[in-house]
Chains A and B, each alone.
Chain A
Amino acid sequence: EPEVTQTPSHQVTQMGQEVILRCVPISNHLYFYWYRQILGQKVEFLVSFYNNEISEKSEIFDDQFSVERPDGSNFTLKIRSTKLEDSAMYFCASKRQGNGEQYFGPGTRLTVT
């Protein structure tokens, strides 16, 4: 069964450094998402991406964040200058149709020290 994959599974970085989290959505899916989940808390929407552009973003998704679909398969989240409070699990998700179910990847645990 096709699945969303994410790399790395765990990333440790120093405050102020840039990180890129990578996702490979399911191949025939058209909508892509990033969410984050701080340990023990709820899943928070960051951004949605469709037709090669951001369709929605949350207030969390400030100028420090950016997303890119550099080729036909990868979907990346970049954090330019990480802060301690960026430490969280970051989930990528994709879906085929506008009103369909979202498939989540296994997540990347980001630890900012």
Chain B
Amino acid sequence: GQQVMQIPQYQHVQEGEDFTTYCNSSTTLSNIQWYKQRPGGHPVFLIQLVKSGEVKKQKRLTFQFGEAKKNSSLHITATQTTDVGTYFCAGRVYGNKLVFGAGTILRVKS
């Protein structure tokens, strides 16, 4: 079945350093979404990418969708302690089913 791989599993950065998490799908996606889950919380939608090669920015967050629509990345510039949490990508091939990656846990040292 469809799989979405996400790396790294865990990243511990110093406040002010950058952070990137990568997703790779076994199949071409119709779109990909990114979610953030704080410890003990629920996934919160960040963004959706639909077009091949699309790049979107939200303040310090930059999201990219690969040309082949099989991979995506989330980059955070100058991390802050409020960025801590687990970042999940979730890909849709067709229909309504979202397949989540395993998530990247981000910890930020102040």
Residues of A within 8 A of B (CB): 31, 33, 35, 41-45, 48, 50, 55-56, 58-59, 91, 98-107
Contact = CB atoms under 8 A, between A and B. Distances in A.
Contacts of B96: 31, 33, 48, 50, 55-56, 98
Contacts of A103: 45
Given A45-B100, A101-B48, A91 B95 contact: no
B16 interface: no
B100 A44 contact: yes
B32 to A, nearest CB: 12
B97 interface: yes
Contacts, number: 55
Contacts of A105: 42
B99 to A, nearest CB: 7
Contacts of B100: 35, 42-45
Interface in B93-110: 95-103
Interface string B23-43: 000000001010101000111
A104 B98 contact: no
A107 to B, nearest CB: 5
Contacts of B103: 42-43
Given A101-B33, A101-B48, A91 B97 contact: no
B16 to A, nearest CB: 28
A104 B100 CA distance: 14
Nearest to A6: B42
Contacts of B102: 41-42
A41 B50 CA distance: 26
B97 A58 contact: yes
A99 B33 CA distance: 11
